[in-house]
Amino acid sequence: MSNVREECGVFGIFANSKANVAASVYFGLFALQHRGQESCGICVNDDGVFNTYKDSGLVDDVFTPEVMASLGEGNMAVGHVRYSTAETVGRANAQPIVVNHIKGRMALSHNGSLINYFELREELEMDGAIFHTDSDAEIISFLITRERLKAPSIEEAINRAMHKIKGSYSIVAMSPSKMIALRDERGFRPLCYGITDDGSYVVASESCALDSVGAVLIRDIKPGEIMIFDKNGVRSITDHCHKAPPSLCVFEYIYFARPDSIIDGVSVHTARRRAGEFLADEHPVPADVVIGVPDSGIDAAMGYAAKSGIPYGLGFIKNKYIGRTFISPAQSIREDKVKIKLNPVSDTVNGKRVVLVDDSIVRGTTCALIVRLLREAGAVEVHMRSSAPPFINACYYGTDISSSESLIAANNSIEEIAKILDVDSLGYLSIESANRLTDRGPENGFCRACFNGCYPTEIPNLKKKNKYKKKISEKDTDK
Protein backbone atom coordinates (compact mmCIF):
# COMPACT_ATOMS: atom_id res chain seq x y z
CA MET A 1 0.00 0.00 0.00
CA SER A 2 2.98 2.34 0.36
CA ASN A 3 3.78 2.49 -3.34
CA VAL A 4 7.35 1.33 -2.80
CA ARG A 5 8.25 -2.00 -4.27
CA GLU A 6 11.03 -4.51 -4.11
CA GLU A 7 11.88 -5.97 -7.44
CA CYS A 8 12.23 -9.76 -7.26
CA GLY A 9 12.19 -13.11 -5.53
CA VAL A 10 14.38 -16.12 -6.36
CA PHE A 11 14.03 -19.84 -5.69
CA GLY A 12 16.02 -22.96 -6.50
CA ILE A 13 16.05 -26.68 -5.68
CA PHE A 14 18.69 -29.40 -6.01
CA ALA A 15 17.34 -32.95 -5.67
CA ASN A 16 19.30 -36.18 -5.27
CA SER A 17 17.42 -37.83 -8.11
CA LYS A 18 15.06 -36.97 -10.92
CA ALA A 19 11.77 -35.62 -9.58
CA ASN A 20 9.01 -33.12 -10.25
CA VAL A 21 11.22 -30.21 -9.22
CA ALA A 22 9.13 -27.80 -11.28
CA ALA A 23 6.25 -28.31 -8.85
CA SER A 24 8.51 -27.41 -5.93
CA VAL A 25 9.61 -24.21 -7.66
CA TYR A 26 5.97 -23.42 -8.47
CA PHE A 27 5.03 -23.61 -4.78
CA GLY A 28 8.12 -21.64 -3.80
CA LEU A 29 7.35 -18.87 -6.26
CA PHE A 30 3.76 -18.82 -5.10
CA ALA A 31 5.04 -18.16 -1.57
CA LEU A 32 7.24 -15.36 -2.94
CA GLN A 33 4.52 -13.79 -5.09
CA HIS A 34 4.48 -10.70 -2.85
CA ARG A 35 8.01 -9.91 -4.09
CA GLY A 36 7.00 -9.75 -7.74
CA GLN A 37 3.71 -9.81 -9.60
CA GLU A 38 4.63 -8.70 -13.11
CA SER A 39 6.38 -11.79 -14.50
CA CYS A 40 7.68 -15.17 -13.46
CA GLY A 41 9.68 -18.07 -14.83
CA ILE A 42 10.98 -21.57 -14.16
CA CYS A 43 13.93 -23.44 -15.69
CA VAL A 44 14.25 -27.20 -15.11
CA ASN A 45 17.54 -29.07 -15.56
CA ASP A 46 16.99 -32.59 -16.91
CA ASP A 47 20.43 -34.22 -17.29
CA GLY A 48 21.87 -31.05 -18.78
CA VAL A 49 18.83 -30.22 -20.91
CA PHE A 50 17.24 -26.96 -19.77
CA ASN A 51 13.46 -26.64 -20.14
CA THR A 52 12.36 -23.05 -19.55
CA TYR A 53 9.09 -21.16 -19.47
CA LYS A 54 8.57 -17.54 -18.45
CA ASP A 55 5.92 -14.94 -19.14
CA SER A 56 4.19 -11.86 -17.80
CA GLY A 57 1.60 -12.49 -15.10
CA LEU A 58 1.08 -14.14 -11.74
CA VAL A 59 2.48 -17.58 -10.97
CA ASP A 60 -0.91 -19.28 -10.95
CA ASP A 61 -1.85 -17.72 -14.30
CA VAL A 62 1.43 -18.32 -16.11
CA PHE A 63 2.04 -21.90 -14.98
CA THR A 64 -1.04 -23.73 -16.13
CA PRO A 65 -1.20 -27.54 -15.83
CA GLU A 66 -0.19 -27.80 -19.49
CA VAL A 67 2.86 -25.58 -18.98
CA MET A 68 3.89 -27.48 -15.86
CA ALA A 69 3.65 -30.77 -17.72
CA SER A 70 5.81 -29.40 -20.54
CA LEU A 71 8.63 -28.60 -18.08
CA GLY A 72 8.97 -32.27 -17.22
CA GLU A 73 11.11 -33.77 -14.47
CA GLY A 74 14.70 -33.09 -13.50
CA ASN A 75 17.07 -32.97 -10.57
CA MET A 76 17.42 -29.17 -10.43
CA ALA A 77 15.35 -26.09 -11.13
CA VAL A 78 15.47 -22.35 -10.55
CA GLY A 79 12.66 -19.82 -10.59
CA HIS A 80 11.95 -16.12 -10.39
CA VAL A 81 9.16 -13.64 -9.69
CA ARG A 82 9.63 -10.05 -10.76
CA TYR A 83 8.48 -6.50 -10.49
CA SER A 84 9.87 -4.11 -13.04
CA THR A 85 11.25 -0.67 -12.49
CA ALA A 86 9.63 2.08 -14.55
CA GLU A 87 12.36 1.71 -17.17
CA THR A 88 12.38 -2.10 -17.56
CA VAL A 89 8.73 -3.03 -17.88
CA GLY A 90 7.91 -5.86 -20.26
CA ARG A 91 7.97 -9.57 -20.89
CA ALA A 92 11.44 -9.47 -22.45
CA ASN A 93 13.02 -8.93 -19.02
CA ALA A 94 11.39 -11.96 -17.37
CA GLN A 95 13.80 -14.39 -15.71
CA PRO A 96 15.52 -16.84 -15.29
CA ILE A 97 18.12 -15.82 -17.85
CA VAL A 98 19.40 -18.87 -19.77
CA VAL A 99 22.82 -18.77 -21.43
CA ASN A 100 24.34 -21.35 -23.77
CA HIS A 101 28.09 -21.23 -24.39
CA ILE A 102 30.95 -23.42 -25.54
CA LYS A 103 31.51 -24.87 -22.05
CA GLY A 104 27.87 -25.62 -21.37
CA ARG A 105 24.95 -23.59 -20.16
CA MET A 106 23.68 -21.65 -17.19
CA ALA A 107 20.34 -20.42 -15.86
CA LEU A 108 20.29 -17.49 -13.45
CA SER A 109 17.71 -15.66 -11.32
CA HIS A 110 18.64 -12.37 -9.70
CA ASN A 111 17.22 -10.10 -7.00
CA GLY A 112 18.73 -6.66 -6.52
CA SER A 113 20.22 -3.79 -8.49
CA LEU A 114 23.75 -3.12 -9.73
CA ILE A 115 25.07 0.36 -9.08
CA ASN A 116 27.61 0.01 -11.91
CA TYR A 117 25.14 -1.35 -14.47
CA PHE A 118 25.68 1.48 -16.95
CA GLU A 119 29.47 1.30 -16.82
CA LEU A 120 29.45 -2.47 -17.21
CA ARG A 121 27.04 -2.40 -20.11
CA GLU A 122 29.03 0.22 -21.96
CA GLU A 123 32.25 -1.71 -21.39
CA LEU A 124 30.72 -4.97 -22.58
CA GLU A 125 29.03 -3.45 -25.61
CA MET A 126 32.26 -1.77 -26.66
CA ASP A 127 33.82 -5.23 -26.46
CA GLY A 128 31.21 -6.63 -28.83
CA ALA A 129 28.51 -7.89 -26.47
CA ILE A 130 24.91 -7.84 -27.68
CA PHE A 131 22.11 -7.61 -25.12
CA HIS A 132 18.46 -8.57 -25.50
CA THR A 133 17.10 -7.15 -22.23
CA ASP A 134 17.56 -4.18 -19.91
CA SER A 135 18.01 -6.36 -16.83
CA ASP A 136 20.95 -6.56 -14.46
CA ALA A 137 20.66 -10.35 -14.69
CA GLU A 138 21.85 -10.35 -18.29
CA ILE A 139 24.91 -8.26 -17.39
CA ILE A 140 25.75 -10.65 -14.56
CA SER A 141 25.20 -13.68 -16.77
CA PHE A 142 27.51 -12.27 -19.44
CA LEU A 143 30.28 -11.56 -16.92
CA ILE A 144 30.03 -15.05 -15.42
CA THR A 145 30.04 -16.65 -18.86
CA ARG A 146 33.08 -14.65 -19.93
CA GLU A 147 34.94 -15.82 -16.84
CA ARG A 148 33.72 -19.39 -17.32
CA LEU A 149 35.55 -19.62 -20.64
CA LYS A 150 38.81 -19.29 -18.69
CA ALA A 151 37.90 -20.67 -15.25
CA PRO A 152 38.06 -24.36 -14.26
CA SER A 153 34.52 -24.36 -12.80
CA ILE A 154 31.37 -22.27 -12.73
CA GLU A 155 31.84 -21.45 -9.06
CA GLU A 156 35.31 -20.05 -9.78
CA ALA A 157 33.86 -18.07 -12.69
CA ILE A 158 31.26 -16.59 -10.33
CA ASN A 159 33.96 -15.89 -7.76
CA ARG A 160 35.93 -13.91 -10.34
CA ALA A 161 32.87 -12.11 -11.72
CA MET A 162 31.96 -10.87 -8.24
CA HIS A 163 34.99 -8.60 -8.38
CA LYS A 164 33.31 -6.72 -11.22
CA ILE A 165 29.70 -6.38 -10.09
CA LYS A 166 28.79 -3.79 -7.48
CA GLY A 167 25.54 -3.17 -5.68
CA SER A 168 22.86 -5.50 -4.39
CA TYR A 169 22.38 -9.04 -5.63
CA SER A 170 21.04 -12.29 -4.29
CA ILE A 171 21.32 -14.94 -6.98
CA VAL A 172 20.46 -18.58 -7.54
CA ALA A 173 21.98 -20.14 -10.64
CA MET A 174 22.53 -23.60 -12.08
CA SER A 175 24.83 -25.35 -14.51
CA PRO A 176 24.18 -28.85 -15.87
CA SER A 177 25.61 -30.34 -12.65
CA LYS A 178 25.46 -27.71 -9.89
CA MET A 179 23.15 -25.24 -8.20
CA ILE A 180 24.87 -22.15 -6.87
CA ALA A 181 23.59 -19.43 -4.54
CA LEU A 182 25.38 -16.18 -3.80
CA ARG A 183 24.81 -12.91 -2.02
CA ASP A 184 26.57 -9.57 -2.44
CA GLU A 185 29.25 -8.70 0.09
CA ARG A 186 26.98 -6.31 1.98
CA GLY A 187 23.94 -8.61 2.01
CA PHE A 188 21.45 -5.98 0.85
CA ARG A 189 18.86 -8.59 -0.14
CA PRO A 190 17.98 -11.74 1.83
CA LEU A 191 18.81 -15.29 0.75
CA CYS A 192 18.59 -18.51 2.73
CA TYR A 193 18.70 -22.26 2.25
CA GLY A 194 17.20 -25.35 3.80
CA ILE A 195 16.74 -29.07 3.32
CA THR A 196 13.70 -31.31 2.78
CA ASP A 197 12.99 -34.70 4.33
CA ASP A 198 14.27 -36.46 1.21
CA GLY A 199 17.57 -34.55 1.29
CA SER A 200 16.83 -31.98 -1.43
CA TYR A 201 18.44 -28.58 -0.93
CA VAL A 202 16.31 -25.49 -1.41
CA VAL A 203 17.41 -21.86 -1.79
CA ALA A 204 14.98 -18.93 -1.54
CA SER A 205 14.75 -15.21 -0.98
CA GLU A 206 12.68 -15.84 2.16
CA SER A 207 12.22 -18.73 4.56
CA CYS A 208 8.45 -18.73 3.99
CA ALA A 209 9.18 -20.24 0.57
CA LEU A 210 11.14 -23.04 2.23
CA ASP A 211 8.13 -23.74 4.41
CA SER A 212 5.91 -24.04 1.33
CA VAL A 213 7.86 -27.09 0.10
CA GLY A 214 8.43 -28.68 3.49
CA ALA A 215 12.09 -27.63 3.77
CA VAL A 216 13.67 -26.86 7.13
CA LEU A 217 15.63 -23.62 7.30
CA ILE A 218 19.33 -24.25 7.86
CA ARG A 219 20.65 -20.71 7.75
CA ASP A 220 20.93 -17.51 5.77
CA ILE A 221 23.62 -17.32 3.13
CA LYS A 222 26.25 -14.93 4.43
CA PRO A 223 26.99 -11.62 2.72
CA GLY A 224 29.63 -12.31 0.08
CA GLU A 225 29.24 -16.09 0.30
CA ILE A 226 29.01 -18.47 -2.66
CA MET A 227 27.34 -21.81 -1.88
CA ILE A 228 27.60 -24.81 -4.20
CA PHE A 229 25.10 -27.69 -4.18
CA ASP A 230 25.99 -30.80 -6.19
CA LYS A 231 26.17 -34.59 -5.95
CA ASN A 232 28.99 -34.27 -3.38
CA GLY A 233 26.88 -32.21 -0.99
CA VAL A 234 27.29 -28.57 0.00
CA ARG A 235 30.37 -26.40 0.11
CA SER A 236 31.06 -22.71 0.49
CA ILE A 237 33.42 -20.10 -0.93
CA THR A 238 33.97 -17.16 1.41
CA ASP A 239 36.55 -15.12 -0.51
CA HIS A 240 34.18 -12.13 -0.62
CA CYS A 241 32.91 -12.39 2.96
CA HIS A 242 33.81 -9.68 5.51
CA LYS A 243 34.97 -7.33 2.75
CA ALA A 244 32.40 -4.68 3.71
CA PRO A 245 30.03 -3.95 6.61
CA PRO A 246 26.65 -5.74 6.29
CA SER A 247 23.85 -3.55 4.95
CA LEU A 248 20.62 -5.53 4.86
CA CYS A 249 17.77 -3.34 3.58
CA VAL A 250 15.74 -2.35 6.64
CA PHE A 251 12.61 -2.33 4.47
CA GLU A 252 12.76 -6.12 4.38
CA TYR A 253 11.61 -6.06 8.00
CA ILE A 254 9.31 -3.07 7.64
CA TYR A 255 7.48 -4.04 4.48
CA PHE A 256 8.95 -6.28 1.77
CA ALA A 257 9.14 -9.67 3.46
CA ARG A 258 6.25 -11.82 4.57
CA PRO A 259 5.68 -11.67 8.35
CA ASP A 260 6.13 -15.44 8.67
CA SER A 261 9.68 -15.26 7.28
CA ILE A 262 12.91 -15.38 9.27
CA ILE A 263 15.62 -13.10 7.90
CA ASP A 264 19.16 -13.22 9.24
CA GLY A 265 17.86 -15.09 12.26
CA VAL A 266 15.11 -12.60 13.15
CA SER A 267 11.33 -13.02 12.82
CA VAL A 268 9.83 -10.40 10.52
CA HIS A 269 6.60 -10.47 12.53
CA THR A 270 8.48 -9.78 15.75
CA ALA A 271 10.41 -6.91 14.17
CA ARG A 272 7.18 -5.29 13.00
CA ARG A 273 5.54 -5.65 16.39
CA ARG A 274 8.58 -3.97 17.92
CA ALA A 275 8.17 -1.11 15.44
CA GLY A 276 4.60 -0.63 16.67
CA GLU A 277 5.71 -0.68 20.29
CA PHE A 278 8.34 1.96 19.58
CA LEU A 279 5.70 4.07 17.81
CA ALA A 280 3.43 3.91 20.84
CA ASP A 281 6.26 5.21 23.03
CA GLU A 282 7.33 7.91 20.59
CA HIS A 283 3.89 9.09 19.43
CA PRO A 284 1.19 8.39 22.03
CA VAL A 285 -2.32 9.75 21.50
CA PRO A 286 -5.71 9.34 23.22
CA ALA A 287 -7.79 7.07 21.00
CA ASP A 288 -10.47 4.38 21.02
CA VAL A 289 -9.08 1.82 18.59
CA VAL A 290 -5.88 0.91 16.76
CA ILE A 291 -6.13 -0.49 13.24
CA GLY A 292 -3.54 -1.52 10.69
CA VAL A 293 -3.45 -1.19 6.91
CA PRO A 294 -3.38 -4.72 5.45
CA ASP A 295 -1.13 -6.51 5.21
CA SER A 296 2.21 -5.19 6.41
CA GLY A 297 0.75 -2.56 8.74
CA ILE A 298 -1.15 -5.08 10.86
CA ASP A 299 1.79 -6.44 12.86
CA ALA A 300 2.93 -2.94 13.81
CA ALA A 301 -0.66 -2.01 14.74
CA MET A 302 -0.79 -5.01 17.09
CA GLY A 303 2.42 -3.83 18.71
CA TYR A 304 1.11 -0.28 19.07
CA ALA A 305 -2.11 -1.53 20.67
CA ALA A 306 -0.32 -3.85 23.09
CA LYS A 307 2.08 -1.16 24.23
CA SER A 308 -0.46 1.69 24.44
CA GLY A 309 -3.32 -0.29 25.97
CA ILE A 310 -5.69 0.94 23.25
CA PRO A 311 -7.78 -1.94 21.86
CA TYR A 312 -6.77 -3.39 18.50
CA GLY A 313 -9.58 -3.65 15.96
CA LEU A 314 -10.18 -5.01 12.49
CA GLY A 315 -10.29 -1.80 10.49
CA PHE A 316 -10.33 -3.05 6.92
CA ILE A 317 -11.46 -6.09 5.01
CA LYS A 318 -9.07 -6.87 2.19
CA ASN A 319 -10.24 -8.33 -1.11
CA LYS A 320 -7.93 -11.31 -1.59
CA TYR A 321 -8.51 -11.50 -5.32
CA ILE A 322 -6.69 -8.35 -6.39
CA GLY A 323 -2.94 -7.79 -6.44
CA ARG A 324 -0.96 -5.15 -4.60
CA THR A 325 -2.08 -1.71 -5.74
CA PHE A 326 1.30 -0.57 -6.95
CA ILE A 327 1.30 -3.16 -9.73
CA SER A 328 -0.77 -0.65 -11.69
CA PRO A 329 1.47 1.94 -13.34
CA ALA A 330 -1.14 4.69 -13.63
CA GLN A 331 -2.01 6.52 -10.42
CA SER A 332 -5.70 6.76 -11.37
CA ILE A 333 -5.85 2.98 -11.72
CA ARG A 334 -4.09 2.51 -8.38
CA GLU A 335 -6.69 4.73 -6.72
CA ASP A 336 -9.57 2.72 -8.15
CA LYS A 337 -7.93 -0.49 -6.98
CA VAL A 338 -7.60 0.85 -3.43
CA LYS A 339 -11.38 1.25 -3.26
CA ILE A 340 -11.90 -2.25 -4.59
CA LYS A 341 -9.18 -3.80 -2.46
CA LEU A 342 -9.91 -2.30 0.96
CA ASN A 343 -13.27 -1.76 2.62
CA PRO A 344 -13.46 -0.22 6.10
CA VAL A 345 -15.33 -2.03 8.86
CA SER A 346 -17.74 0.67 9.96
CA ASP A 347 -18.56 -0.98 13.31
CA THR A 348 -14.87 -0.73 14.24
CA VAL A 349 -14.33 2.92 13.30
CA ASN A 350 -17.74 4.66 13.31
CA GLY A 351 -17.74 7.39 15.97
CA LYS A 352 -14.24 6.41 17.09
CA ARG A 353 -10.89 8.10 17.47
CA VAL A 354 -8.74 5.88 15.29
CA VAL A 355 -5.00 5.24 15.29
CA LEU A 356 -4.16 4.13 11.76
CA VAL A 357 -0.83 2.28 11.43
CA ASP A 358 0.77 1.76 8.02
CA ASP A 359 4.20 0.39 7.17
CA SER A 360 5.38 3.59 5.48
CA ILE A 361 4.33 6.76 3.70
CA VAL A 362 6.15 7.13 0.40
CA ARG A 363 4.22 9.22 -2.11
CA GLY A 364 1.20 9.71 0.14
CA THR A 365 -1.55 9.32 -2.46
CA THR A 366 -2.68 5.88 -1.33
CA CYS A 367 -2.56 6.89 2.34
CA ALA A 368 -4.79 9.88 1.63
CA LEU A 369 -7.36 7.61 -0.01
CA ILE A 370 -7.34 5.25 2.97
CA VAL A 371 -7.86 8.12 5.39
CA ARG A 372 -10.78 9.30 3.27
CA LEU A 373 -12.33 5.84 3.44
CA LEU A 374 -12.13 5.96 7.24
CA ARG A 375 -13.70 9.42 7.37
CA GLU A 376 -16.54 8.26 5.16
CA ALA A 377 -17.01 5.24 7.45
CA GLY A 378 -17.58 7.57 10.41
CA ALA A 379 -14.17 7.94 12.10
CA VAL A 380 -14.24 11.17 14.13
CA GLU A 381 -10.45 11.39 14.40
CA VAL A 382 -7.69 9.71 12.41
CA HIS A 383 -4.19 9.66 13.88
CA MET A 384 -1.73 8.18 11.41
CA ARG A 385 1.42 6.35 12.47
CA SER A 386 4.12 5.10 10.12
CA SER A 387 6.28 2.15 11.20
CA ALA A 388 9.08 3.55 9.02
CA PRO A 389 10.90 6.87 9.28
CA PRO A 390 10.25 9.53 6.62
CA PHE A 391 11.31 8.23 3.20
CA ILE A 392 13.30 11.15 1.75
CA ASN A 393 16.01 9.70 -0.49
CA ALA A 394 16.27 7.62 -3.65
CA CYS A 395 17.18 3.94 -3.35
CA TYR A 396 19.76 2.36 -5.67
CA TYR A 397 19.69 -1.18 -4.28
CA GLY A 398 16.54 -2.75 -5.66
CA THR A 399 13.46 -0.67 -4.90
CA ASP A 400 11.65 1.35 -7.51
CA ILE A 401 12.40 4.77 -5.98
CA SER A 402 15.08 6.25 -8.21
CA SER A 403 14.38 9.89 -7.36
CA SER A 404 13.24 11.93 -4.36
CA GLU A 405 11.01 14.14 -6.51
CA SER A 406 7.84 12.14 -5.82
CA LEU A 407 8.55 11.42 -2.14
CA ILE A 408 6.11 13.33 0.02
CA ALA A 409 8.45 13.59 3.03
CA ALA A 410 11.28 14.96 0.87
CA ASN A 411 9.19 17.92 -0.17
CA ASN A 412 6.92 18.64 2.81
CA SER A 413 7.15 19.06 6.58
CA ILE A 414 5.35 16.63 8.87
CA GLU A 415 2.69 19.28 9.51
CA GLU A 416 2.20 19.76 5.78
CA ILE A 417 1.98 16.01 5.20
CA ALA A 418 -0.66 15.68 7.93
CA LYS A 419 -2.70 18.35 6.19
CA ILE A 420 -2.29 16.67 2.79
CA LEU A 421 -3.39 13.32 4.22
CA ASP A 422 -6.22 14.94 6.22
CA VAL A 423 -5.17 13.35 9.51
CA ASP A 424 -5.50 14.80 13.00
CA SER A 425 -1.93 13.88 13.86
CA LEU A 426 0.99 12.15 12.19
CA GLY A 427 3.93 10.29 13.68
CA TYR A 428 6.85 8.50 12.08
CA LEU A 429 9.11 5.87 13.60
CA SER A 430 12.46 7.42 14.47
CA ILE A 431 15.60 6.32 12.68
CA GLU A 432 17.02 5.32 16.06
CA SER A 433 14.11 2.94 16.64
CA ALA A 434 14.35 1.58 13.10
CA ASN A 435 17.90 0.64 13.98
CA ARG A 436 16.58 -1.42 16.92
CA LEU A 437 13.98 -3.52 15.12
CA THR A 438 16.01 -6.70 15.50
CA ASP A 439 17.18 -6.01 19.07
CA ARG A 440 20.78 -6.28 17.99
CA GLY A 441 21.81 -2.74 18.74
CA PRO A 442 23.74 -0.45 16.39
CA GLU A 443 25.76 -3.32 14.92
CA ASN A 444 22.73 -4.84 13.19
CA GLY A 445 24.01 -3.69 9.81
CA PHE A 446 20.96 -2.12 8.16
CA CYS A 447 20.97 0.05 5.07
CA ARG A 448 18.86 3.10 5.97
CA ALA A 449 19.96 5.38 3.14
CA CYS A 450 16.34 6.04 2.11
CA PHE A 451 15.85 7.63 5.54
CA ASN A 452 19.17 9.30 6.33
CA GLY A 453 21.00 9.63 2.99
CA CYS A 454 24.03 7.68 4.23
CA TYR A 455 24.61 5.34 1.30
CA PRO A 456 26.83 2.33 2.02
CA THR A 457 28.29 2.47 -1.51
CA GLU A 458 29.06 5.11 -4.05
CA ILE A 459 26.01 6.54 -5.80
CA PRO A 460 25.60 5.19 -9.33
CA ASN A 461 26.29 7.36 -12.34
CA LEU A 462 22.89 7.92 -13.95
CA LYS A 463 24.07 9.98 -16.92
CA LYS A 464 23.78 6.98 -19.24
CA LYS A 465 20.39 5.93 -17.87
CA ASN A 466 18.32 7.09 -20.85
CA LYS A 467 20.63 5.24 -23.24
CA TYR A 468 20.72 1.91 -21.44
CA LYS A 469 17.46 1.72 -19.47
CA LYS A 470 14.86 2.56 -22.09
CA LYS A 471 11.30 1.49 -21.50
CA ILE A 472 10.33 -1.55 -23.53
CA SER A 473 7.00 -1.05 -25.23
CA GLU A 474 4.26 -3.63 -25.18
CA LYS A 475 4.60 -3.85 -28.93
CA ASP A 476 8.18 -5.02 -28.51
CA THR A 477 7.24 -7.66 -25.98
CA ASP A 478 4.09 -9.21 -27.44
CA LYS A 479 4.14 -12.96 -27.81
Task: For residue 19, count other CB atoms closer than 10 A to its CB.
Answer: 17
Cis peptide before 344 (omega within 30 of 0): no
CB contact at 8 A, 196 and 25: no
| Cβ 194 vs Cβ 208: under 8 Å | no
- Report the distance separating Cα 159 and Cα 357, nearest Å: 44
Closest CA to 449 of 89, 221, 168, 258: 168
Name the catalytic one among 8, 40, 395, 447: 8
Q: Sort 192 into a burial class: Cβ within 10 Å, 0-12 / 13-18 / 19+.
A: buried
Whether 8 is catalytic is yes
- For 113, how many CA atoms within 13 A lie in the half-sphere containing its CB? 23
Alpha-carbon distance of 463 to 327, in angstroms, equals 27
Cα separation values, 222 from 30, 110, 245, 345, 414, Å? 25, 16, 12, 44, 38
Q: Where are the alpha helices (DSSP H) in 292-400?
A: 298-308, 331-341, 346-349, 365-376
Q: What are phi and psi of 449, to 5 degrees?
A: -60, -30
Helical spans, DSSP H, in 85-191: 117-126, 136-148, 154-161
Q: What is the DSSP letter of 444?
A: G
DSSP code for 399: B
DSSP label at 244? S
Measured distance CA(403)–CA(87) in Å, rounded: 13
Q: Using CB atoms within 10 A of its CB, is residue 117 exposed (0-12), middle (13-18) or buried (19+)? A: buried
Point out the residues that are catalytic.
8
